[in-house]
Amino acid sequence: DSKGRLANFSAGPAMVYEEVLHKCQLDLMNFEGKGLSVMEMSHRGASFTKIIEEAEQDLRTLLRIPETYEVLFMQGGATAQFAAVPYNLGWRHDPSDVAYAPRADFLTTGSWSKKAVAEAKKVGVEANVLATGDNKSIPSDVSAFDYGDAETRAQSAYLHLCANETIQGVEFKGLGSLGSVVGKGGQLQGAPIVADMSSNFCSKPVNVEDYGVIYAGAQKNVGPAGVTIVIVRKDLLGSPKAGTPTMLDWTVMSENKSLYNTPPCFSIYVCGLVFKHLLSLGGLDKVEQINKAKCGLLYDCIKQSQGYYDCPVDPKCRSAMNVPFTIPGHEDLEKVFVQEAEAAGLINLKGHRSVGGMRASIYNAMPMQGVEKLVAFMKDFQAKH
Stretch that binds ligand PLP, among 99-107, 173-181, 195-203, 236-244 (CB under 6 A): 195-203
Spatial distance between the Cα atoms of 299 and 219, rounded to a whole number of angstroms: 24
Stretch that binds ligand PLP, among 60-68, 75-83, 148-156, 367-375 (CB under 6 A): 75-83
Active site residue 196: yes
Task: Name the 3-class secondary structure at 266.
Answer: helix
Select the residue interacting with ligand PLP from 49, 79, 305, 382 (CB under 6 A): 79
Could you say whether residue 349 binds ligand PLP (CB under 6 A)? no
Q: Cβ 112 to ligand PLP, closest distance in Å?
A: 4
181 contacts: CB under 8 Å, gap ≥ 6: 142, 143, 147, 188, 189
| CB-based contact 357:351 (threshold 8 Å) | yes
| CB-based contact 160:105 (threshold 8 Å) | yes
Stretch that binds ligand PLP, among 35-43, 147-155, 196-204, 244-252 (CB under 6 A): 196-204
Out of 196, 204, 250, 276, which one is annotated catalytic?
196
Spatial distance between the Cα atoms of 291 and 314, rounded to a whole number of angstroms: 19
Select the residue interacting with ligand PLP from 12, 90, 102, 223 (CB under 6 A): 12
Out of 220, 241, 276, 294, which one is annotated catalytic?
220
Active site residue 220: yes
Spatial distance between the Cα atoms of 73 and 262, rounded to a whole number of angstroms: 11
Out of 112, 250, 294, 373, which one is annotated catalytic?
112
Closest CA to 114 of 162, 147, 76, 157: 162
What is the size of the binding site for ligand PLP (CB under 6 A)? 11
Select the residue interacting with ligand PLP from 58, 70, 119, 196 (CB under 6 A): 196
Stretch that binds ligand PLP, among 42-50, 194-202, 251-259, 291-299 (CB under 6 A): 194-202
Q: CB-wise, 156 or 267, nearer to ligand PLP?
A: 267
Per 3-state DSSP, what percentage of the chain is helix, strand, and coil (rounded to 5)? 40, 15, 40
Task: Name the 3-class secondary structure at 158.
Answer: strand
Spatial distance between the Cα atoms of 123 and 315, rounded to a whole number of angstroms: 36
Could you say whether residue 77 binds ligand PLP (CB under 6 A)? yes
**Which DSSP symbol is given to 66?**
-
- Using DSSP bridges, classify how beta strands 182-183 and 187-188 pair: parallel, antiparallel or unpaired: antiparallel
What angle do the packed helices 368-384 and 331-343 form, to 10 degrees?
Answer: 130
Q: Cβ 46 to ligand PLP, closest distance in Å?
A: 30
Contacts (CB under 6 A) with ligand PLP, residues 116-145: none
Contacts (CB under 6 A) with ligand PLP, residues 239-278: none
Backbone dihedral region for residue 243 (phi beyond 0: left; psi -120 to 50: alpha; all else: beta): left
Q: CB-wise, 41 or 349, nearer to ligand PLP?
A: 349
Could you say whether residue 162 binds ligand PLP (CB under 6 A)? yes
Query: Interface residues with ligand PLP (CB under 6 A)?
Result: 12, 77-79, 112, 162, 166, 196, 198-199, 217
Residues belonging to the active site = 112, 196, 220
